[in-house]
Structure 1
Amino acid sequence: HDKCHSPQITHHSCSGYRDRPAHTILYNILSGSESRYLNGKLNRDATAHNCHCEQRRTVCLKDPKATGQVASAVLVHTVCFVRGLPSFSQLPSGDQSSLLRHCWVSLFVLGLAQKKIVFEVTEVANASILRKILLGPGLTGNEADLPTLAEVHNLRACLHKLWNLDLGPVEYAYLKGALVFNPAVQGLSALCFIEGLQRKGLGALQEVLHRLHPEDAARFTHVLLAASTIQTVSHGLVAQLFFKPVIGNTNMFHLLTEMLSVQ
């Protein structure tokens, strides 16, 4: 029996895996080929309605307190979902950390879509002054960048794509499960086990989609394409837009790690 497919993860070596190409649909999508295409398309669609200068305007939440509370609830639900996956808890702590770092934004966006969260933004009048006040010293240029209108348009486009599919709770749950276990993440020690989990997750997602929508043969592809657009939403946008007003300069990933370890 091929040890790559064994649930035993005490020994995490897998000869040959790193040298062979991955053929799963989701692997290729999340590796970036589809995401780059869709990201370019979304940007072209957005700039068709707004000039470049307008797209580069910096924005913040119109009601950061109320929206921040809703976003925090979605984040807690996201971490609880990941922590509740039996297969996830079997992984080495380093792999858990790596997978969480890679998938939390995607799962958070899915949570926003599932809860039908609508948020409003307003233009930042003087970005340079506000940056100094809110973000404080010691941050790199990338970390200090405030969200732009273009990034918000992209996030909203992702949400609308998911809303148009009208996914139910079961579909969201299986999609989230498939997104968690991504063998494309660098440095995984239980790589073969995670590859098997993703394959099983995709199979289960395809099965449930067929059961719920037997008349829609293309639904599985449409769901995966919608999931791939989520990869165009940056960690920085989500952290700065939704959580900076709530947690200040607290490191977002450290917070997530602490939440994951709470029993």
Structure 2
Amino acid sequence: VECETHHSKSILQQILNKENGSETKWHQQHGSPHCSTRSRGCPCLDRKRVVLRTPEATCRRASEVLLKTSTFIRNLPSFYQMPWEDQFVLIQQNWVPLFVLGMAQEGVDFDLKEIPATSLLKKILLNQSSTAMRELGSSSAGASLAEVEKMRNLLWKFWDLDISAKEYAYLKGIILFNSAPEGIPAPCTNRIQTLQNEAQKALMEFISTMFHGNLGRFALILQLITSLRDIDADAIEELFFRPVLGEATVNALLIETLCIRPVWR
């Protein structure tokens, strides 16, 4: 598919061309997320909001992952052979697990800092900000720590398995060709199911060969990619892309970058 639109690409390139900054690792300060606050049953985790400690460096790496994800999709003829409406639905429903899987493959860890709730309350009480009340209940005031911890725990599980590049490629195919997307007609659903089955079979054969027929790894990896679908899209956008995209959405950016749109005749 030939694309004449360069606007979305330029957004990504502007992000990627920003100067690199140093990035402090979250686990250096707090240890493995396997020992996180959530595992100790802290009920306040759901109420806490966080932002990146080094947004310039981390957002740049996240943008690189997004660009590599779009490149992977672009190189799949089987994807572009589908009607554009079906391509749209697949991207809309699957970009979050694809992105998180890309973060795992690229080894992107990050440091966080909590947004003090008292700072917004003070603004309200002291009438220092007319928008403070809206900010207090707005998702733009950082991402949910609970959702971010959920993502980080999954990243560490992928890293613990030391997944190879080939395994990641097969996993991306399994995720992209989601066998049960809403809004896709039956004939295309059957085609998508076939493509997903082919990716699963290739992954199973690879693991069986590399790990001497032990398919426990195969089952564990499939369980992990199922868990990827529980990651909240709003948390991903707020944490990694709101500082650079503003009100634009990642879904819309990918749709434009991949040129998924009707062909007017």
What residue is the counterpart of 1:101 in the other structure?
92
2:184 to 181, 188, 196: 188
Query: Does the 8 Å CA contact 1:178/1:205 hold for their aligned counterparts?
Result: no
Which segment is superposed worse, 205-214 or 61-70? Answer: 205-214
What residue is the counterpart of 1:36 in the other structure?
none
Alpha-carbon separation, structure 2, partners of 1:64 and 1:144 = 15
Deviation at 1:202, TM superposition (A): 1.1
Q: Which runs of 5+ in 2 are unaligned?
A: 1-32, 124-128, 261-265
Equivalent position amino acid for 2:192 in 1: I
Equivalent position amino acid for 1:173 in 2: A
2:265 counterpart of 1:258: no
Query: Does the 8 Å CA contact 2:177/2:192 hold for their aligned counterparts?
Result: yes
2:56 counterpart of 1:75: no
Equivalent position amino acid for 2:143 in 1: P
Alpha-carbon separation, structure 2, partners of 1:118 and 1:144 = 22
**TM-score, structure 1 normalization:** 0.74
Query: Does the 8 Å CA contact 2:180/2:189 hold for their aligned counterparts?
Result: no
2:78 to 80, 87, 111: 87
Where does 1:52-63 land on structure 2 (aligned, <5 Å)?
52-63=43-54
Superposed CA offset, 1:194-243 (max 9, x none): 11111111111111111222252311101101111211211111111000
Q: Would the alpha carbon gap of residues 64 and 99 (structure 1) be closer, same or farther in structure 2, given more than 3 Å must change?
A: same
DSSP 3-state at the match of 1:246: helix
Return the structure number with greater relative CO, CA threshold 8 A, min gap 6. 1
DSSP 3-state at the match of 2:143: coil
Q: Which runs of 5+ in 1 are unaligned?
A: 1-41
2:151 counterpart of 1:155: yes
What residue is the counterpart of 1:121 in the other structure?
112
Alpha-carbon separation, structure 1, partners of 2:79 and 2:159 = 28
Which segment is superposed worse, 248-257 or 207-216? Answer: 207-216
What residue is the counterpart of 1:66 in the other structure?
57
2:164 to 165, 168, 171: 168
Deviation at 1:104, TM superposition (A): 0.9
CA root-mean-square deviation: 2.9
Superposed CA offset, 1:85-133 (max 9, x none): 1110100001001001111111111111111111011011247589xx9
Query: Does the 8 Å CA contact 2:54/2:111 hold for their aligned counterparts?
Result: yes
**TM-score, structure 2 normalization:** 0.74
What residue is the counterpart of 1:178 in the other structure?
174
Equivalent position amino acid for 2:86 in 1: D
Alpha-carbon separation, structure 2, partners of 1:46 and 1:182 = 33
2:247 counterpart of 1:249: yes
DSSP 3-state at the match of 1:261: coil
Aligned residue-pair number: 216
Alpha-carbon separation, structure 2, partners of 1:164 and 1:244 = 29
Alignment identity in percent? 36
What residue is the counterpart of 1:20 in the other structure?
none
Q: Would the alpha carbon gap of residues 231 and 128 (structure 1) be closer, same or farther in structure 2, given more than 3 Å must change?
A: farther
Equivalent position amino acid for 2:169 in 1: A
Query: Does the 8 Å CA contact 2:178/2:196 hold for their aligned counterparts?
Result: yes
